[in-house]
Amino acid sequence: MAFHVQNVKKQKTRSNFTFNASIGGAIPLLLLLTLLVLLPFVFIFIYAITNKGESNYIYLTFDNFAQFITEPNFLRSAGMSIYFAFIATLICLVIGYPVAYFIGRSKASLRNILVMLITIPMWINMLLRILAWKQIFELFEKWMNVEIIGTDFAILFGMAYDLLPFMIIPIYTSVMKIDPSLYEASKDLGANPIKTFFKVTIPLSMPGIISGITMVFLPAATTLVVTEKLGGGKSRYFLIGNIIESYFIRQTNPYVGSAIALILSVIIFLVIFLLNRLDRTVVRDRELTTSVKKRRKA
């Protein structure tokens, strides 16, 4: 989200000469973004560097950050969050790519139906879906006498199930955009279907893969519903999202919670930044040039 703000700022400096035309129209959007994105950030930042004293006076401090680094539980949770998010993202990619590829290359009529089928689960509230899975798992536990809830499997299943559409949709969009004659050209030049896939399809769908990874990894790393409902109350599954939640709601200590949230934001920002760099080096300036063209046209 920090990224959006940055982009807006960039555009502001770029269109210096046509101030009235482009900035005038963008003012409502800028206000909205300031309100929705910047303001919460400012509050979180203020909370993060303050604390409440004994007689209810508020003072400036960096203890909240220090607590994060010194408390081993926090670091462990952050590590576990990243670990689970990483595996869930990998699962989503392995399952999602073939599905997205199939949808992207099918005929328009079939494609619309398939995209709808993929998005239908998202019409139902996420909490309800996870609770439904909890009950299904409980049924299985009774029948087969196995432990499901409170295992890595349940957590990863919940994350992957919940976030799979976010992997499929960007990839399918980028696969759909690939000109089919490129596949023919590749075959014509001697590449069999496997080589064509690795030399043409994968590189050209890289923008979709990168945004899919971003859209799965980040929510997975900060989830609290999945871990709370399918974690079986085990401390192993008390991840960074749950810690923030507990500081804010259970312990009513928004100061440390804000500090953790801020650190998480910085980590997320770095991840997005690195992914974007990767995207640019992999697909060269293809996307860049199209956006430049669009801007010129506009």
Partner 1 sequence: MENSEVLVELVDVTKNFGSTKVLKGINLQIKSNEFVTLLGPSGCGKTTTLRIIGGFEYPTTGKVIFEGKDITDLPPYQRSTNTVFQSYALFPHMDVFDNIAFGLYIDKKAVSLPYPETDLTFFEKLKAKRFNAKLEKYNNQTREPASIKDMEAKARKIVQEKHSSLSQAKQEELYNSILTSIKEEEKKWVESKPARPFTKAEIKTKVESVIKLVNLTGMEHRNVSHLSGGQRQRVAIARAIVLRPKMLLLDESLSALDLKLRKEMQYELKELQKSTGITFVFVTHDQEEALTMSDKIVVMKDGYIEQIGTAEEIYNEPVNRYVANFIGDSNIIKGEIIDPKHVKFAGKTFLVPNIKFAVDQTVDVMLRPEDLDIVYPSKGKLLGVVDSIFFKGVFYEVDVRLSEGSIVTIHTTDYIPVGKDVGISFDTEDITLMEEME
Closest distance to partner 1 from the beta carbon of 184 (Å): 6
What are the structure tokens assigned to 121, written together? 């689960």
Could you tell me if 260 and 240 are in contact, meaning their C-beta atoms sit under 8 angstroms apart? yes
Closest distance to partner 1 from the beta carbon of 185 (Å): 4
Q: Quote the Cα angle for 284-287-291, to 5°.
A: 135
What is the sign, positive or negative, of the torsion defined by CA atoms of 248, 254, 256, 259? positive
277 binds partner 1 (CB under 8 A): no
284 binds partner 1 (CB under 8 A): yes
Distance (Å, whole) CA 243 – CA 222: 10
Distance (Å, whole) CA 276 – CA 216: 15
Q: Name which of residues 147 to 186 contact partner 1 (CB under 8 A).
A: 179, 181-182, 184-186
- Alpha-carbon distances of 45 from 39, 173, 200, 256, rounded to whole Å: 10, 37, 45, 11
Q: Name which of residues 24 to 83 contact partner 1 (CB under 8 A).
A: none
CB neighbours of residue 14 within 10 Å: 11
Closest distance to partner 1 from the beta carbon of 194 (Å): 11
203 binds partner 1 (CB under 8 A): yes
- By C-beta, is 236 or 286 nearer to partner 1? 286
- Applying CB under 8 A, the span of 68-76, 108-116, 187-195, 263-271 interacting with partner 1 comes to 187-195
Could you tell me if 170 and 159 are in contact, meaning their C-beta atoms sit under 8 angstroms apart? no
Task: Please list the residues that pair with 51 across neighbouring strands.
Answer: 59
195 binds partner 1 (CB under 8 A): yes
Residue from 25, 28, 72, 190 binding partner 1 (CB under 8 A)? 190
- By C-beta, is 200 or 271 nearer to partner 1? 200
What is the sign, positive or negative, of the torsion defined by CA atoms of 86, 88, 94, 100? negative
Closest distance to partner 1 from the beta carbon of 80 (Å): 37
Closest distance to partner 1 from the beta carbon of 178 (Å): 9
Residue from 38, 44, 131, 200 binding partner 1 (CB under 8 A)? 200
Distance (Å, whole) CA 46 – CA 67: 17
Angle between helix axes 254-282 and 206-221 (nearest 10 degrees) is: 170
- By C-beta, is 14 or 199 nearer to partner 1? 199
Q: Name which of residues 124 to 143 contact partner 1 (CB under 8 A).
A: none
- By C-beta, is 145 or 181 nearer to partner 1? 181
Q: How many residues does the chain have?
A: 298
Q: How many residues bind partner 1 (CB under 8 A)?
A: 23
Binding positions for partner 1, rule: CB under 8 A: 179, 181-182, 184-192, 195, 199-200, 203-204, 283-286, 289-290
